[in-house]
């Protein structure tokens, strides 16, 4: 039997994951869920352990992981989040962050123009290097002469493999987003790998945009994009932008994957949202759609499509949490999706 690890995590994480599990049970997936509900900030504060070796082995022995959110205002050091998320991303080498932005219902888009609302793109974000590699430090810290440096790490290996993934999922084309006119060294390496990837994939239409222009175009003409491939930090920012333009971060799903091993960690794009935790209004659709992505990746495409259709029908019927303009609670949205599944 297929085993899926579940890490509900912190804040609204457990609330939205509960609904994802309810609807996946309703689908009759027959999957076994190994729920690690002790992996959270409270455990870290008590024991100093973010993710134990035993838990890591449980994760890596499973078919995939569904994660709620990691983060808590009581934990000020980055050690906790790094210990869970970054450990999973780096030790399982989940080098692709795949974030679809697809409009679930026209009413949700903040864009007026109907033309622009036909949003159906994927942001492929490099997930293991770039500006978030954690290399750097502060010189003359505390003085008025202080200098802070964060190095951006780009390797041929890292760029090449994420570009290859982007080309492998292209339907209408691939757009490279960088800032090679200003960030020279990394920019030229991305450009070199891009030129090689294009040669290997001559049939795929390609475009290139600087990140500032890409941000503009994601608002002015988001429907023109298919696959956007970019580095860790630009991908972080552009995928939040794309999620909002496509109707709101509460319904956005993401996957951290290693296309070679097939392993994936699926999580809603939103974080722990401590401001609304415990109030029952968290939107569970991002978590539910992350579950659908997981199902698709482990070979259950039909169930994934059924779940996605049920989510769309729920949104179209206006059965949403307040962030999407509805008045339902988290559990009621889960129940509505379940009802749509029939
Ligand atoms: P973290 O540090 O874990 O990323 P955060 O404080 O940045 O947490 P996010 O989860 O990134 O919070 O979300 C930002 C804001 O968007 C939240 O404060 C919340 O008001 C809103 N929000 C996020 N997710 C949801 C959701 N699922 N449903 C409703 N509102 C949400
Ligand atoms: Mg956040």
For residue 252, the ligand closest to its alpha carbon is: 1
Structural domain includes residue 303: yes
Q: Residue 145: what pLDDT?
A: 97
- Looking at the structure of the chain, the number of domains it has is 2
- Domain end marker among 222, 245, 268: 245
ipTM exceeding the 0.85 mark: yes
Nearest to 279 by CA among 327, 334, 330: 330
- Domain end marker among 186, 214, 245: 245
What are the structure tokens assigned to 26, written together?
């309703």
How many angstroms separate the CA atoms of 284 and 287, rounded?
Answer: 5
Pocket test for ligand 1, best of 40, 41, 250, 270 (most atoms within 8 A of CB): 270
Residues 181 and 297 occupy one common structural domain: no
Structural domain includes residue 102: no
For residue 178, what are the domain limits?
110-245
Residues 36 and 16 occupy one common structural domain: yes
Assess whether 236 carries a catalytic annotation.
Answer: yes
Residues 166 and 208 occupy one common structural domain: yes
pLDDT over 90, % of the chain: 90
Q: Residue 76: what pLDDT?
A: 86
Residues 72 and 130 occupy one common structural domain: no
Residue among 179, 226, 263, 266 flagged as catalytic: 179
Q: Residue 134: what pLDDT?
A: 85
The values of phi and psi at residue 226, to 5°, are -110, -90
Strand partners, 7: 67
Q: Report strand pairing: 253-257 vs 96-102.
A: antiparallel
Residue among 165, 236, 263, 323 flagged as catalytic: 236
Answer yes or no: are the C-beta atoms of 150 and 135 closer than 8 Å. yes
Averaged pLDDT of the chain: 95
Q: Residue 110: what pLDDT?
A: 85
Nearest to 321 by CA among 280, 283, 266, 276: 283
Residues 70 and 152 occupy one common structural domain: no
Q: Residue 283: what pLDDT?
A: 98
pLDDT at 70 over 80: yes
pLDDT at 19 over 80: yes
Residue located nearest, by CA, to atom 14 of ligand 1:
273
- For residues 326-333, average pLDDT: 98
Residues 128 and 240 occupy one common structural domain: yes
- For residues 320-326, average pLDDT: 95
Pocket test for ligand 1, best of 12, 18, 241, 249 (most atoms within 8 A of CB): 249
Answer yes or no: are the C-beta atoms of 133 and 95 closer than 8 Å. no
Q: Residue 115: what pLDDT?
A: 66
Residues 56 and 120 occupy one common structural domain: no
Residues 239 and 118 occupy one common structural domain: yes
**Between 117 and 222, residue with greater pLDDT:** 222
Structural domain includes residue 104: no
Structural domain includes residue 65: yes
pLDDT 10s digits, 183-203: 999 999 999 999 999 999 999
pLDDT at 328 over 90: yes
How many angstroms separate the CA atoms of 288 and 307, rounded?
Answer: 8
- Domain end marker among 224, 245, 266: 245
pLDDT 10s digits, 77-118: 888 998 999 899 999 999 999 999 999 888 888 888 776 678
Answer yes or no: are the C-beta atoms of 19 and 288 closer than 8 Å. yes
Assess whether 210 carries a catalytic annotation.
Answer: no
- For residues 116-139, average pLDDT: 92
Q: Residue 77: what pLDDT?
A: 82
Residues 158 and 43 occupy one common structural domain: no
pLDDT 10s digits, 245-278: 998 899 999 999 999 999 999 999 999 999 999 9
- For residues 309-331, average pLDDT: 96
What are the b/e assignments for 151-171, b being 16+ CB within 10 Å? ebbbeeebbbbbbbbbbeebe
Answer yes or no: are the C-beta atoms of 93 and 258 closer than 8 Å. yes
Q: What angle do CA 237, 103, 327 make, to 5 degrees?
A: 95
For residue 275, the ligand closest to its alpha carbon is: 1
How many angstroms separate the CA atoms of 87 and 59, rounded?
Answer: 11
Ligand 1 pocket at CB < 6 A: 12, 16, 69, 71, 249-250, 270-276, 282-283, 286, 321, 323
Structural domain includes residue 103: no
Q: Report strand pairing: 32-35 vs 206-210.
A: unpaired
Q: Write the CA distances from 251 to 48, 192, 284, 286, 328, integer angstroms.
A: 32, 36, 7, 4, 14
Domain with 142 in it: what CATH number?
3.40.718.10
Structural domain includes residue 164: yes
pLDDT at 160 over 80: yes
Structural domain includes residue 44: yes
What are the structure tokens assigned to 250, written together?
């509460």
Q: Residue 254: what pLDDT?
A: 97
Structural domain includes residue 62: yes
Task: Report residue 264 CA to chain centroid gap.
Answer: 11
Residues 133 and 229 occupy one common structural domain: yes
The values of phi and psi at residue 93, to 5°, are 50, 50
Residues 74 and 1 occupy one common structural domain: yes
Nearest to 86 by CA among 76, 97, 98: 97
For residue 78, the ligand closest to its alpha carbon is: 1
pTM: 0.93
What are the b/e assignments for 58-68, b being 16+ CB within 10 Å? bbeebbbbbbb
pLDDT at 8 over 80: yes
Residues 235 and 134 occupy one common structural domain: yes
């Amino acid at each position: 039997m297929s085993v899926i690890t579940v890490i509900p995590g912190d804040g609204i994480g457990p609330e939205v994951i509960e609904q994802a599990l309810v609807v996946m049970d309703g689908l009759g997936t027959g999957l076994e869920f190994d729920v690690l509900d002790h992996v959270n900030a409270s455990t870290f504060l008590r024991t100093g352990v973010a993710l134990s070796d035993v838990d890591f082995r449980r994760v890596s022995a499973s078919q995939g992981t569904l994660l709620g959110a990691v983060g808590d205002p009581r934990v000020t050091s980055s050690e906790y989040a790094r210990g869970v998320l970054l450990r999973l991303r780096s030790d399982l080498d989940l080098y692709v962050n795949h974030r679809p932005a697809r409009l679930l219902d026209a009413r949700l888009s903040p864009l007026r123009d109907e033309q622009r609302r036909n949003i159906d793109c994927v942001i492929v974000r490099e997930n293991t290097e770039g500006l978030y590699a954690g290399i750097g430090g502060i010189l003359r810290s505390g003085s008025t002469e202080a200098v802070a440096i964060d190095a951006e790490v780009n390797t041929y290996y890292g760029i090449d493999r994420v570009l290859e993934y982007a080309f492998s999922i292209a339907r209408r084309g691939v757009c490279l987003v960088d800032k090679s006119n200003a960030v020279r060294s990394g920019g030229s390496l991305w450009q070199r790998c891009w030129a090689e990837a294009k040669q290997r994939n001559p049939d795929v239409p390609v475009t290139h945009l600087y990140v500032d222009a890409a941000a503009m175009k994601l608002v002015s003409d988001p429907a023109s994009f298919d696959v956007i491939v970019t580095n860790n930090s630009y991908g972080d920012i552009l995928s939040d932008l794309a999620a909002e333009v496509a109707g709101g971060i509460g319904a956005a799903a993401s996957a951290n994957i290693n296309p070679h091993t097939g392993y994936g960690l699926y999580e809603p794009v939103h974080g722990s949202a401590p401001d609304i935790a415990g109030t029952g209004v968290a939107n569970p659709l991002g978590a539910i759609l992350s579950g659908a992505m997981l199902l698709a990746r482990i070979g259950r495409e039909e169930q994934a499509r059924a779940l996605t259709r049920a989510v769309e029908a729920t949104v179209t019927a206006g059965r949403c949490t307040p962030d999407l303009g509805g008045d339902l609670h988290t559990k009621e949205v889960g129940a509505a999706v379940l009802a749509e599944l029939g």
